[in-house]
Structures are given as C-alpha cells and as structure tokens.
Amino acid sequence: MIAYLVLLLAVVSRIVPLQTHAWNFTAVGGSLLYFGARRSRWQTIIAVLVLAATDFYLTHFVYSYPFRINGYLITWAWYAGVCLLGHGLLSRKTSALRVGAAVLTSATSFFVISNLAVWAGSALYAHTFAGLAECYTVALPFYGNDLVSTACVAGALFGLPALARRLADANNHGSNSAAA
C-alpha cells in the first residue's frame, strides 16, 4: 500500500505547480526505485501506466501540446527500467551503498538517455559531436537537480524506516539492560 502512495507522490510532484518544477525537483526517480523495491516485477506495468497517464495529462491539458506516443516511448522504458532496478537491487537487501548506487544509476541513465533522444530527435542541436556535447552541457544543471531530488526522496523512503528500526532496537536493548 505504501508503494502506491509513493507512486502518487511522484504524480503529485509533477502536477502540482510548485516552485520545485523550475529546479527539476520531482519525486519520480526515488519513487520508482521504492515502488520497484516493494512491489513485484509485473507491477512495474502499473507504475508505467500511471506515469504515462501523467505525461498525457501534462502534455495535452497543461502544456497544450499535441501528444505523440513515440515521443514518450524512451521515457516510459526508463520508468520501467528504474522500477526493475529498484526490484533487482533493493528488494532483498537495502543498504546505503545500494541505495546510493541506484540513485546514481537512475539519475544518470535519465540524463544520458533523455538528452541523447533530444539531440537525435529534434532540430534543437546540430547533429554533430559538438551539438551532442552542447545538448549534454546545457542539461547539466537539470541533471544535478534530478540527482539531488532522487537522492532526497530515495534517502527518505529507504533511510527513515532503517533509522526507525535502529532507534527501536536501541530502545529495546536499553529497556532490556535496565530490566536486568
């Protein structure tokens, strides 16, 4: 149940017009890692469908652009990939190192894949090595912000329960010592 609420958090972080959008701060990457870690692999389809519906809503109703599915296929594959990364890396054993690796992989893969798609599929940048370099250079601030937001969200989702368990264990250990 919590994984679905976290997925809803990802949707809300994209739809609600907060100042965080200017900084590219969304809960998508961290939420997908958590959803993938807490749900079965086949439920990845649910996460992809929910975020695809969000893409449609934003594109068509908020930004008033024509919606073209082929413009989103790479993004939707990335959604699935991040869920599967969370499932494979974080479902059985969660550690700070594993969460950090998943966060870095999630944000970096989105940066690499989405900017390559922008460069290859649009006329914004020259289709040369210099154009590709410019595309990635211009996107660096967004990458940094996505990395921070993914780390904050995943850190909170995976770290707070671990911290609560440690505090409870320490409290139980202290109670047992006092009783003896």
Q: What is the pLDDT of residue 144?
A: 94
- Residue 20 CB-density burial (10 A; 0-12 exposed, 13-18 middle, 19+ buried): middle
> What domains are defined for the chain?
2-179 (1.10.1760)
Q: pLDDT tens for residues 129-149?
A: 999 999 999 999 999 999 999
Mean pLDDT of 43-48: 98
Instruction: Read off the DSSP letter of residue 70.
Output: G
Query: pLDDT-based confidence at 165, cuts 50/70/90?
Result: confident
**Average per-residue pLDDT in the chain?**
92
Mean pLDDT of 25-49: 96
Does pLDDT of 177 surpass 70? Answer: no
Buried b (16+ CB within 10 A) or exposed e, 33-55: bbbbbbbeeebbebbbebbbebb
The torsion angles phi and psi of 91, rounded to 5 degrees, stand at -75, -35
